[in-house]
Amino acid sequence: MPQLQLEITEQGYLILPQTVATQYFSEDVCVAIWREPELWILPIHSSNAGGFLLKQRNALGDRSVLIHEVLPNEWKSGIYPTFWDAENGSMRIALKNA
């Protein structure tokens, strides 16, 4: 997958475009893990397993998920380089300057 850019808002929401959400997070559930210097977002295949729920943000089908509690202490809102790591089944967001 080509490199993407995903936004994290001031409130701590990760914004996923509809195409990314449906391709990689088809069940609208994920977990977020801070692995310095990256935030890893991994899909979960059932909401029964817990995790964070992706909510529909707009009529286009974009999703948002509240992840502020797993972000590092000094994180900043903004747009970050991201890529899908097929080997680890994870969306990896580079928060180098967080």
User: Where along the chain do its domains lie?
Assistant: 4-94
**pLDDT tens per residue across span 40-84:** 999 998 777 789 999 999 999 999 999 999 999 889 999 999 999
Q: Which residues have C-beta within 8 Å of that of residue 35, sequence separation ≥ 6?
A: none
- pLDDT of 45 reads 86
Biggest CA pair distance of the chain:
34
Record the tokens describing residue 58, joined without a space: 């707009």
What's the pLDDT band for 2 if we cut at 50, 70, 90? Answer: low
